[in-house]
Structure 1
């Protein structure tokens, strides 16, 4: 089949990005696509290559240059190739190209170590530590504790906990409505300890100029502004240090601990996948088949902080 006539690769890239934007790709993802594919198209221009003339050997040469000139890591190369592959797949399917040279092109994958793990006792040591002295420090701890609880209780990503709004929390059913990657929405449970912590923080919320309306962000600064991603990272690290834990704690590590501890206790991979919102759940309507009662039951049985332990 002949390829469709276009004026330039720049025009083609603009069309593709516009379609990705219509499909609710995040601004961050679109910027990464723009940067990565533009860089490859610039390489093609330097080589006097038309898009239809690109072959696997050209892709290999391009990747080799990125390693030699910029020292890109295997993970960065994979990300770069993924963007190029998606762009070329779209161009091929839309008949802008006669064939897709990236379709079968593969980089040799290197084994990737799993993120570090901390055990349940260490997590508890951090989250259950005593409040600091001083009114402001204590209020900050109530906010930080609520953040720590949700990161570990529900396996949230940093951006997800940062973007939680008042309307997203269902205290009665102990469920969170989370907007994750690609603007996909999922529902996740949170434990009774997380509920207690969030409710305690919301008692302080009005004193920090928090506007208690449905659209308001849950986690804010003392001036009432939404808490930034770097601020959350720093507070998570700080609270680990304050607890005397010798670990470089960050939000993704708590997410990893959530997944590992849930899987080790439940063995229900599907339920954990639903809670994490992993991208390999390919259907766009993933909640039409989720049994929330079953998911909540698995959560209550498996998560270390799902419910208050009965007194002995």
Structure 2
């Protein structure tokens, strides 16, 4: 492609840095995606962005798919390309956005990994040996009790918890949305134990380090790994597995998908519906083990 085409890319990246205040990570990704598209256009002897057609973008997507690039990655690349052409359109350097109607391959939904009730008990019933472990146990109990995201948990303040009402206010939900969720009696009990030992400091955070700083996401992940290792839990367990387990166990017991959606803070019920697949897997497993004709079919097969 021409030097003018490269200048358009450079101006777009400057726009992302300046007006959009995009993160360095985002800018690096966009730059790499557009460089890849430029190479593709050069191979097809397309010299300017205004000459790119929707058929070219579709062929580009097909080429990436044929190269075994994950659908999620292609979706991200397409988003970058659409954004770039929107910028060019706004500047009146092109007459159309050729990527606007192009669809990426649909990615297969991966079922989230969950723990069964015994595995959860293995995490939450082990006794703590230190103040730090009391804090950690309060964190793990709260994950499973209320189905929090990791980002939501670390942003909690002490004033977000109402012990008398058994509720928790989530002020930093996904998309800036707030919600209120119930907190189980066991979680309340362990949190109160942590608050008795919590260092007296200026921080308003519910969960802090022993120096008084708000606990970070990576620290929570590492503490859970350490706790599981100490208590002989071989499987790699991360905080979101406790959230997934909360959703799966609650849906399995209540069959109330709307309530689970509300508790998880999902904007769309379709996001919550993935847990119905997990529930079906559980039911299918029970059926295979319990139904006499199912067992016979397994033996005969």
After TM superposition, the score normalised by the length of structure 1 is 0.68
What does residue 234 of structure 2 align with? 246
CA distance in 2, matches of 1:19, 1:267: 46
Change (3 A) 1:63 1:253: farther
2:159 to 154, 167, 170: 167
Displacement of 1:236 in angstroms is: 0.9
After TM superposition, the score normalised by the length of structure 2 is 0.70
What does residue 116 of structure 2 align with? 119
Change (3 A) 1:155 1:85: farther
1:155 is aligned to 2:141: no
Matches within 5 A, 1:137-148: 138-148=130-140
1:55 is aligned to 2:48: no
Change (3 A) 1:94 1:202: farther
1:195 to 188, 201, 222: 188
Displacement of 1:124 in angstroms is: 1.6
Q: Check conservation: 1:9, 1:51, Cα contact below 8 A.
A: no
1:233 is aligned to 2:240: no
SS in 1 for 2:240: helix
If each structure's helix is expressed as a fraction of its own residues, which one has the higher value? 2
Displacement of 1:84 in angstroms is: 3.8
What does residue 186 of structure 1 align with? 179
Q: Larger Cα Rg: Structure 1 or Structure 2?
A: 2
Q: Whose RCO is larger (CA < 8 A, sep 6+)?
A: 1
Displacement of 1:229 in angstroms is: 1.8
Matches within 5 A, 1:65-144: 73-85=70-82, 88=85, 98-132=95-129, 138-144=130-136
Summarize deviations over 1:8-43 as a string: whole Å, max 9, x none.
45545555677766xxxxx7xx55543333333344
CA distance in 2, matches of 1:199, 1:125: 21
Q: Check conservation: 1:44, 1:50, Cα contact below 8 A.
A: no
Summarize deviations over 1:48-67 as a string: whole Å, max 9, x none.
65444433423643784698
Query: Structure 2 unaligned runs (5+)?
Result: 1-6, 271-301
CA distance in 1, matches of 2:24, 2:250: 34
What does residue 292 of structure 2 align with? none
Q: Check conservation: 1:233, 1:251, Cα contact below 8 A.
A: yes
Change (3 A) 1:119 1:94: farther
Displacement of 1:199 in angstroms is: 1.3
What does residue 211 of structure 1 align with? 201
Displacement of 1:154 in angstroms is: 1.5
Query: Structure 1 unaligned runs (5+)?
Result: 1-6, 22-26, 133-137, 283-312
Displacement of 1:157 in angstroms is: 1.5
How many residue pairs match? The answer is 257
